[in-house]
Amino acid sequence: MAVSINTKGLLESGRFADVTVKCNSREWKLYKVIPVLCSRSEWFNKALCGGFVEARTGEIELHDEDPSHLDWVITWIYTNGKPHSACLDLHAIADFLILDDLQVLVKDHLKDRMFAKAIGAQRAFAQCVDSENHLSEGDIKVYFEGVRIAYERNIEWAKDIFLDFPRSAHWWMITDKSFHTMRTAIPDYVYNLITEMVEALEQGNCWPSHVITSCCCTGCNAGGFRNTLDGNGTVFENSDEPDGFYWSELMKNSRGIVVGVCNACKDGPESDMDL
């Protein structure tokens, strides 16, 4: 829904507020008379428009939430902003406050971020001379922190999204030493990861553990990520890689040669995998 600039200004100023929300040391001056709060959150609607004491006093106290996350959620209610990076915590608060739109938005945001990271992992693997050290240690730590929370809290939708990351990158990050070290700390994740890999193998997918220097798309013949090394080991990208290229599928044909289908050809005419 569209939210006016004036509503955002009222949120920032707190003028004419008729509701106070408190969480630990934080306090927000909000508006019951402006229908945004109660129309977007069934929880606030029940608390402020029902028979609870909060409806009479206009004060709500929350003790178990992170004030910084709650601040973002309240801002989202009034301004329709984009999700914060702490997706799992935000989803938990959105679930508590019955903010269905925000729950969907947070899931979509995390899914999009993980897919973008997976395509980046494809590119990093293909452009790195050392296939055992091609991922950023910071990215790996952030990823496994999300994995840890998803498995500790048993958040099934988040587990699926985090497993989509290695799948979309054709499992190449498994060759990275830092990834290998951190994944062993979460046994259930390792089990699911192995199960996914076995299913991918049964479907004919493959993931060469070395940089692909000759594979091209069987649909359009684009040579995405094809590299050339000079005598000093410097990597040069070939110029025939289309913008936004990534591998949608990688398989071995009947002759044992790695062949692929790029993202542009995935939903196009059927490719000849035996080229």
97 falls within a domain: no
Output the CA–CA distances (angstroms, integers) from residue 21 to 3, 25, 61, 155, 271, in the order listed.
21, 11, 6, 28, 58
10 falls within a domain: yes
Q: Please write the tens of the pLDDT for every residue from 141-157.
A: 888 889 999 999 999 99
Last residue of a domain, one of 202, 228, 259: 202
Q: Do 65 and 136 fall into the same domain?
A: no
Q: Do 58 and 117 fall into the same domain?
A: no
CB 264 within 8 A of CB 220: yes
Q: Do 32 and 111 fall into the same domain?
A: no
98 falls within a domain: no
Q: Do 130 and 197 fall into the same domain?
A: yes
More confident: 127 or 177: 177
The count of structural domains within the chain is 3
Model-level pTM? 0.71
Instruction: Flag whether pLDDT at 18 surpasses 60.
Output: yes
More confident: 50 or 268: 50
Q: Do 111 and 195 fall into the same domain?
A: yes
- What is residue 168's predicted lDDT score, i.e. its pLDDT? 86
**How sure is the predictor about 103, in pLDDT bands with cuts at 50, 70 and 90?**
very high
219 falls within a domain: yes
User: Kindly report the CA angle at 270 between 219 and 119, in degrees rounded to 5?
Assistant: 55
State the residue range of the domain holding 21: 5-81
DSSP helix/strand/coil, 60 = strand
**How sure is the predictor about 234, in pLDDT bands with cuts at 50, 70 and 90?**
very low
Helix (H) or strand (E) holding 105: helix 100-127
More confident: 63 or 85: 63
Neighbours of 77 (CB within 10 A): 25
Whole-angstrom Cα distance, residue 145 to residue 5? 36
Mean pLDDT of 98-111: 93
248 falls within a domain: yes
Among residues 65, 61, 73, 140, the alpha carbon closest in space to that of 100 is found at 73
**How sure is the predictor about 121, in pLDDT bands with cuts at 50, 70 and 90?**
confident
101 falls within a domain: no
Residue with tokens 């989803």: 91
Last residue of a domain, one of 48, 81, 114: 81
Classify burial at 33, counting beta carbons within 10 Å of its beta carbon; exposed 0-12, middle 13-18, buried 19 or more.
Answer: exposed
99 falls within a domain: no
